[in-house]
Structure 1
Amino acid sequence: MTERLYRDIGEQIKADLAQQELAPGCKLPTERAYAERFGTSRTVVREAFIMLEIEGWIEVRQGSGIYLRQRPGSPVSPQRVPDEDIGPFELLQARQVLESSIAACAAQTVTKQDIQQMQEMLDLEDTMMASVEVSEDADRRFHLLIARSTQNSLLLEMCTQLWDRRDRSPMWQTLHKRIMDLSYRANWLEDHRAILNQLRKRDAQGARQAMWQHLENVKTTLFALSDTDDPNFDGYLFSNLRAQ
């Protein structure tokens, strides 16, 4: 099995912490500092910290930062992140590559019935915005309807597998626990409407770009809202950032 980059970085951070004389409760360096030290991106360091959080070595304190919970090497039995789990930002990148191409393909094969069903999902997403469970289910179903409208069963299967991996991922669930305010989901609805508009016009390039931008917005939003390096980290509304 391919070694996950976040796991490699996480193990390096654990080794680093094990060598230091840090007591539980000590504040750790920022993600940016670790990214510079290991010569990698902050998204990978973010994923590494999520792994360490799940395993019980660190804790995230809202509005404060990341702190040592147990020094690696302590006589504890932490929970282990499954080897097959993938980092949330790596997963989003894979979805971005696949689903933007799927959207372009769908623009050439979509039927009126497909469009109607997608619109119904957006209507459900809009009216049930206050219900996270219903809204997220409508989000998933909208994306899978696009894949199904390609009339290519393998593309639908590949897209479904990525969504299934997201839904059962402890890494993804832990990332979302950091985000208190889910009002940013209204932006997803706007993005979905833009995608559907391009599909209605049967504009393959427009649909590709709309889907790519949507998932780029998802990556940027989730990164910003879970950023413990930011002194204002408190699950603030991303709509304010997006307007800047």
Structure 2
Amino acid sequence: MLLTLACGSILFPGFFVLGAWGLHQVLPQWPVIDCLTFSNRVVSSIQAVLASSSGIIVVLSCTDIITCRHWLAREYVWVLIPYMIYDLGAMYICYWYRNRGEDKKHSLAIFRNFLKHDRLMLIHHIFILIVLVPIAQVIRGERGDFFVGCIFTAEFSTPFVSMARILILWKKQHTFAYKLNGFLTLGTFFFCRILVFPFMYWSYGQQKGLNLLQTPFHIPFLCNVINAILISPQLYWFALLCRKAAQMFDTSQGKKDS
């Protein structure tokens, strides 16, 4: 546990700092904020690959979705803790560089604006740290590794979300690659961050001889509450992605018509 926490605490901030510094050396014409944003997106993608790979391994190894155990289901949570803390700091650093004044000092006003601007993502991260981590490591006991693995696989869509931002930094938002990445983002987000929840209910129902509609009434009420809390921001973000995709399609169609 301690070794995993220490490795995560070094790995993510280290990649972020080295990545931003290296980009600034190779591309000195890039603004610092672009180097920071690019590096942050790469680190997010690295974590997403690690998390989703761990999740897939856990899910495929569990023959009994209640009692089967896999060491990754517990160990990777210790990686998530330093990552979530790092990501909160990296988000603020990027926001500060984008909105800092001429004096280049941190201010309470900037911090308050940051809390308002990224409040949903902040709540998401803090909820994982103070609610999901204790549940995953202590409260659930020796059961439910399968469901922890399913939650890990939700990160599969993150590299595509990050790639969209990187393509924008490269001024490639009007290219086929950007549109293709947009469709992949929508697809992976829908399957891995939304359909994963009915999949977990369906898997439990299959083992217990229940259909999908019966399953929510045969599991602890707290599980339904937590799943509702988890899926709510995903539905909101998916709606935003659909809106952006529609705007992209309308823009492309407008260019063809003209």
TM-score by length of 1: 0.28
TM-score by length of 2: 0.27
Larger helix proportion, structure 1 or 2?
2
